[in-house]
């Protein structure tokens, strides 16, 4: 199947504010960081009550969630498949996946957004309820996940780190690890 690697963030109907800092991301954030320090570019979204971030390299595009065809007899976190520009991709519900209690949607029109994630071996869509934001921060703003999180987390080490920006805590996810081998097996059983 021809992959469309170059469409990343290119034709997304929802404006991903790549250059405009998200509201809470004060401009001084960037100014404070040393000029030559590498920057981390995240797409930030909300799951439950917390903020989560994915590195922009792993996000192929952001779009209004298209109509999803349910796939019976798949795990609950698989919402189904959707046709995104001719590619049929799996749509995942990360709240379901992480066992996060959903917070009632704030958007009254019922529109949700889908981040199309390109991981090493697969593409998946992740549904979020609010418009995802773009955020730049210096790498030093991100701490590795606390060790106890990593310990208990047997297969849960998809948390790459915690970023503190103003008063927000952003949980940075490693999308390459979001589907563990066990879950792929669960899919097939």
Cβ at position 158, least distance to another protein in Å: 14
Q: Which is nearer to another protein, 60 or 141 (CB)?
A: 60
φ and ψ at 28, to 5 degrees? -65, -20
The order of strands in the sheet holding 142-144 is: 133-138, 39-47, 50-55, 168-173, 159-165, 142-144
| DSSP 8-state symbol, 11 | S
Summarize as ranges the residues that interact with another protein (CB under 8 A).
1-2, 67, 69-74, 78, 81-83, 86-90, 121-124, 179, 183-185, 187-188
Cβ at position 72, least distance to another protein in Å: 4
What is the biggest distance separating any 2 CA atoms in the chain, rounded to whole angstroms? 52
| DSSP 8-state symbol, 93 | -
Query: Using an 8 Å Cβ cutoff, are 156 and 171 in contact?
Result: no
Q: Which is nearer to another protein, 56 or 78 (CB)?
A: 78
Cβ at position 133, least distance to another protein in Å: 27
Q: Which is nearer to another protein, 82 or 128 (CB)?
A: 82
Q: Which is nearer to another protein, 142 or 173 (CB)?
A: 173
């Amino acid at each position: 199947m021809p992959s469309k690697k170059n469409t990343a963030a290119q034709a997304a109907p929802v404006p991903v504010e790549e250059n405009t800092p998200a509201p809470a991301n004060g401009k001084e954030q960037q100014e404070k960081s040393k000029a030559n320090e590498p920057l981390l570019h995240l797409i930030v979204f909300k799951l439950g009550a917390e903020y989560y971030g994915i590195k922009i390299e792993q996000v192929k595009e952001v779009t209004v969630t298209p109509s999803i065809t349910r796939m019976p007899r798949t795990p609950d976190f698989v919402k189904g498949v959707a046709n995104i520009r001719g590619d049929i991709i799996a749509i995942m519900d990360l709240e379901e996946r992480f066992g996060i209690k959903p917070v009632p949607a704030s958007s009254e029109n019922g529109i949700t957004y889908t981040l199309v994630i390109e991981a090493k071996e697969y593409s998946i869509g992740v549904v979020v309820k609010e418009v995802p934001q773009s955020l730049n921060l210096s790498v030093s703003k991100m701490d590795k996940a606390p060790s106890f999180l990593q310990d208990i987390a047997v297969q849960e080490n998809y948390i790459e780190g915690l970023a503190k920006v103003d008063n927000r805590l952003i949980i940075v996810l490693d999308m390459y690890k979001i589907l563990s081998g066990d879950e792929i097996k669960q899919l097939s059983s």
